[in-house]
Amino acid sequence: MKKQTAMDKNWFETAETLSAALPYLQRYDGAIVVIKLGGHAMGSDDAMDLFARDIVLMQQVGINPVIVHGGGPMINDMLARLGVDSHFVDGKRVTDAATVEVVEMVLSGVVNKRIVQAINRQGGRGVGLSGKDASLIRCEPSHPDLGFVGEPVEMRPEVLHTLFEAGMIPVIAPLGFGAEGETFNINGDTAAGAVAAALKADRLLLLTDVAGVKDQSGEVVTELTASAIRKLTQEGVIAGGMIPKTETALAALDGGVRAAVILDGRAPNACLLELFTPHGAGSMIRQDS
Ligand SMILES: Nc1ncnc2c1ncn2[C@@H]1O[C@H](COP(=O)(O)OP(=O)(O)O)[C@@H](O)[C@H]1O
Ligand SMILES: CC(=O)N[C@@H](CCC(=O)OP(=O)(O)O)C(=O)O
């Protein structure tokens, strides 16, 4: 069989690849796949359309896709336009009362609706919501120094099952609510992991701007166990923004997700190649057996 590459834009339109994909289509029938789309992985409108086409195709073949998005760069732009200073501690934005208003405006507004519209343009029915809707994500403060940064503590995923049954595709902005009615800003990876665990998802796909988790020599490792991740982190090979991503993957596995995959969201058909080909895409992380 010809090895498919991420450059094959019309991957699912050829009979050869479709027949190779058949066993995978059957395997994933009815599966729940949570996809985290980070701000850096959101490209031009054309790239967004290709991403949305993959998501709609997944749904058409029987998968229940859920998108959890980020939008850090878009929040940065808006804060800069408003003259509000912002900084990060350990990958999380220190979020005061003024900042959380802007975060909600940007994530639940422009970013969320851009994704919803892209899905709808491809013939799907995207429904935008945040962790506030239907009490999906209740949070507690993540750390006293971070202000309104939330850690998910209670999930109510029923609304997502209702949307699946209605044939709709949930698109979730990473915001939550607190016991006192506060709005919390949640790191996008953390929110995706919490949603995936609450749904006991079959796959958590973390889309980013690198091909996967790289080892000491800079090669992408296609299969990783939880203990291999811990070793690479201790050795400093996994660093920076990859640390919260791999931590999210491990927490999701502990929460009952079958496997998490870190892959390049900018590559055409990335999600389809991961799900429907023998070689997959990116780095797949599983529990130690
Ligand atoms: N071992 C590693 N393998 C791959 N990427 C790594 C590794 N260690 C650190 N990184 C960095 O992590 C980045 C991804 O994290 P981040 O920029 O936060 O992604 P996103 O904005 O998509 O959430 C990569 O672009 C890369 O620079
Ligand atoms: C607490 C925290 O840091 N929240 C993030 C939420 C958006 C996000 O995670 O966006 P990416 O996935 O594009 O990085 C923020 O304010 O930037």
- Reading the chain (289 residues) residue by residue, the pLDDT tens digits are 344 444 455 555 666 666 777 777 778 889 999 999 999 888 788 889 999 999 999 999 999 999 999 999 999 999 999 999 999 988 899 999 999 999 999 999 999 999 999 999 999 999 999 999 999 999 999 999 999 999 999 999 999 999 999 999 999 999 999 999 999 999 999 999 999 999 999 999 999 989 999 999 999 999 999 999 999 999 999 998 898 899 999 999 999 999 999 999 888 889 999 998 888 899 999 988 7
Domain residue limits at 207: 11-17+24-286
Whether 6 is covered by a domain: the verdict is no
Asked casually if ipTM beats, i.e. exceeds, 0.90, the reply is yes
Q: Is 239 in the pocket of ligand 1 (CB under 6 A)?
A: yes
Of 209, 217, 220, 221, which is best to mutate to test ligand 1, by the most ligand atoms within 8 angstroms of its C-beta? 209
Q: What is the CATH number of the domain that holds 211?
A: 3.40.1160.10
Report d(CA 278, CA 24) in Å as an integer.
8
- Would you put residue 134 in left (φ > 0), alpha (ψ -120 to 50) or beta? left
Q: For atom 22 of ligand 1, which residue has the closest CA? A: 208
Q: Is 41 in the pocket of ligand 1 (CB under 6 A)?
A: yes
Whether 1 is covered by a domain: the verdict is no
Whether 260 is covered by a domain: the verdict is yes
Q: For atom 11 of ligand 2, which residue has the closest CA? A: 70
Whether 215 is covered by a domain: the verdict is yes
Ligand nearest the Cα of residue 75 is 2
Whether 3 is covered by a domain: the verdict is no
Whether 5 is covered by a domain: the verdict is no
User: In the sheet that 203-208 helps form, which strands lie side by side, from edge to edge?
Assistant: 126-130, 169-173, 64-69, 32-37, 203-208, 259-264, 283-286, 223-225
Whether 2 is covered by a domain: the verdict is no
Q: For atom 23 of ligand 1, which residue has the closest CA? A: 38
Provide the number of structural domains found in the chain.
Answer: 1
pTM for this entry = 0.93
**How much distance in Å is there from the Cα of 245 to the middle of ligand 2?**
12
Whether 127 is covered by a domain: the verdict is yes
